[in-house]
Amino acid sequence: MAAFVGFATTLLSLFLFQFLLGVHSATFTIVNQCSYTVWPGILSSAGTAQLSTTGFALQPGESNALSVPTAWSGRLWGRTLCSQDSTGKFACVTGDCGSSTLECAGSGAAPPATLAEFTLNGAGGLDFYDVSLVDGYNLPMTVEPQGGTPGVGNCTVTGCRVDLNGNCPTDLKVMSAGDGQEGVACKSACEAFGDPQYCCSGAYATPDTCKPSTYSQFFKSACPRAYSYAYDDGTSTFTCASADYLITFCPTGSSTSLIKSGNGKYPVAVDITGAADHVISSGKLIMVTLLMAVWRFWQQVL
């Protein structure tokens, strides 16, 4: 009985310890449910320190939990079809950050890319988050707050669950190179045509003058909660307090064959094992927590 109480106390203190840690920083759990490898990239906003990692690989089914400091702001996206050439230069067909390495190290995504944007502990102590297609789209992604303060903010899942690479309008579509071409990304109208009307620039730089276009409406009808053009704030920005965030690539699994892996179209997909030490499955996390508890338990008993 005493042993059981000791065990329970240990478990409880362990949870309390982890809870207290959570007060100071949010956890971003990044999950790859795509059938292909995704290389997340992370960029902090100007004036905000870069996270301990700014780029890594996630194999299908893998996840990675990152601790994010209070008041962090920045963006996160998924790079696809990445490879390393014979000189060791790392590059991706979509979402490339131009760093030539696995880590983005202060560089952002080349459009088109689906972006998750965060401002943690912003105005009123709220976290602001959104998924943006303003710079185009390259893969399905959702952001789901977890454990936020109840009743504070419109703290719900946002993003784009739909695979738009196949049915992207022809003049926005980005095709893969080589044989057996397929859509790998979908440009914004601003990027495709550079028109101030689509870019909300020049004479169109205010919410009153920049209106949705048939192109932005294509994105909005497919992904109603995502930003489809620069002034889409009302329906696309969400708020939450003291939450953790689950960021999922291909939340419904993936329907298209973005990578027909091993068909030689792209050089061997890079499996950077250097990044593997901070890639952990939730199963392993539970195992480690349990093992720690059991170890502490035996220390008390013996």
Ligand X SMILES: *[C@@H]1O[C@H](CO)[C@@H](O)[C@H](O)[C@H]1NC(C)=O
Cβ distance to ligand X smaller for residue 119 or 254:
119
* Residues 6 or more apart in contact with residue 82 via CB below 8 angstroms: 37, 39, 57, 90, 91, 92, 93, 96, 269, 270
Q: Which stretch binds ligand X (CB under 6 A): 49-57, 143-151, 161-169, 233-241?
A: 233-241
Is 238 a residue that touches ligand X (CB under 6 A)? Answer: yes
- Give the shortest CB-154-to-ligand X separation in angstroms: 4
Q: 128 — phi, psi (to 5°)?
A: -110, 135
Quickly list DSSP for 185-219.
EE--HHHHH--HHHHT-GGG-STTT----HHHHHH
| Strand spans (E) along 46-203 | 63-69, 73-84, 90-94, 115-119, 127-132, 141-146, 158-160, 173-175, 183-186
- Give the shortest CB-193-to-ligand X separation in angstroms: 28
Is 121 a residue that touches ligand X (CB under 6 A)? Answer: no
- Give the shortest CB-86-to-ligand X separation in angstroms: 48
* Residues 6 or more apart in contact with residue 73 via CB below 8 angstroms: 44, 45, 48, 118, 119, 120, 122
Q: Which stretch binds ligand X (CB under 6 A): 18-26, 141-149, 229-237, 281-289?
A: 229-237
Cβ distance to ligand X smaller for residue 215 or 238:
238
Q: Which stretch binds ligand X (CB under 6 A): 74-82, 232-240, 243-251, 261-269?
A: 232-240
CA distance 128 to 52: 22
- Give the shortest CB-12-to-ligand X separation in angstroms: 36
Indicate which single residue of 121, 197, 235, 281 sits in contact with ligand X (rule: CB under 6 A): 235
Is 239 a residue that touches ligand X (CB under 6 A)? Answer: yes
Residue nearest to ligand X (CB): 154
Strand partners, 84: 90
Is 154 a residue that touches ligand X (CB under 6 A)? Answer: yes
Residues in contact with ligand X by the rule CB under 6 A: 154, 234-235, 237-239
